[in-house]
A and B are shown apart, each in its own frame.
Chain A
Amino acid sequence: MNDSELEKFEAELRNLKPAALPGPLLQSLVDSRPKLENQPARSPRLNPGAVKTFGLSHWLRWLIPATAVVVGGMIAWVSLRSSAPNTLKPATAPPSERLVADDISVERQLVSTYDAIAELPTGEPVRFNCREWMDEVNVRDSSKGLVIQKRIPRVEITPVRFETY
């Protein structure tokens, strides 16, 4: 096809007009144009749905950076709090330096024993056997040479019937 034939065929095609829009679609497109009244040039209004979307995007535009700032601040605050005790308390024993007891003993030592006699409100005599004990708890950590000793006094009172005695 030479150029003249091409131009002739192009002209023939251009004479063929695309079909017109259906009435409802055309009306819908006419209505979709932006309104000038009450609206600056930079923010065209199309329809209520478009206005709603614009408002939401407007808020989101501010909400997202604000949320990022708040979250960033919280992360910084939490990290500062978690790092502060480590710097302020270097003498605190780490978990590996805790006491590991390899020997625990409980000893009971009888300190004294004696009898006591009392009377009930009815006049009946009652005899008690009293014993004073000293309980001693020893916790040892041989690897560190530590001994923790705890002594606790204890009184044991046992009623004794005269018949038994």
Chain B
Amino acid sequence: MNSGSANETKVFKDWESWLGQHAPGLLLYARQQTQCEADAQDILQESVIEIWERQQSNELPAPALVYATIRRRAIDLARSRQRRAVREATANAEVPAAWFDLSLEDRERSQLIQESLRMLPEIYQEVVTLKIWGGLTFAEISTTLEIPANTAASRYRYGIEALRKTTQKELA
């Protein structure tokens, strides 16, 4: 094996590792930002390809950049949909995909948190998602959502508290 193919193999393994680490969180965020599963998967794939194209190097993309691209593409998609009522009716008819791994023992709790998270206002939902499952810092969240870092922190705190209240209320 020459050095080129060895390097290629390394990049391949790094890329698979990167996907294993970040792709589930990215898909979770894409699902929250879109109205149906197909849109979420399309936007995730398009965003990753766009980042590769823009990056012009073989370095692995920064997750914050991919999250920001997903958000921008989701906004563009929502704007491009002219018949909003039809889209929402279609989305409501569709069974939503599971946001979390349901193979865990506490399946009911996973579903409860998903529903609680879904009921949160979007501005809190996205900050909590980016922080907890995206692993972004408040500075990165600030860049991704184009809001001040202090706003991101306060939204996170409020979102976590609201989420906890909702889950405790349901479990009580």
CB distance from A18 to the nearest CB of B (A): 4
Q: Which of A38-46, A100-108, A137-145 contacts B (4 or more CB under 8 A)?
A: A38-46
CA distance A18 to B16 in the complex (A): 17
Mostly helix, strand, loop or mixed at chain A's interface?
loop
Mostly helix, strand, loop or mixed at chain B's interface?
helix
CB distance from B73 to the nearest CB of A (A): 15
Q: In the complex the two chains form, is A25's CB within 8 Å of B44's CB?
A: yes
Q: In the complex the two chains form, is A42's CB within 8 Å of B57's CB?
A: yes
Per the CB 8 Å criterion, the residue count for chain B at the interface is 43
Q: Which residue of B lies closest to A54 (CB)?
A: B53
Per the CB 8 Å criterion, the residue count for chain A at the interface is 33
**B residues in contact with A5, CB < 8 Å:** 164
Q: Is A32 an interface residue (CB 8 A)?
A: yes
Q: In the complex the two chains form, is A13's CB within 8 Å of B132's CB?
A: yes
Q: In the complex the two chains form, is B98's CB within 8 Å of A19's CB?
A: yes
CA distance A34 to B15 in the complex (A): 10
The 6 closest A-B pairs by CB, nearest first: A18-B24, A18-B28, A33-B15, A17-B101, A36-B8, A13-B132
| Chain A residues proximal to chain B, CB less than 8 Å | 1, 5-6, 9-10, 13-14, 16-22, 25-26, 28-30, 32-37, 41-44, 46-47, 50, 54
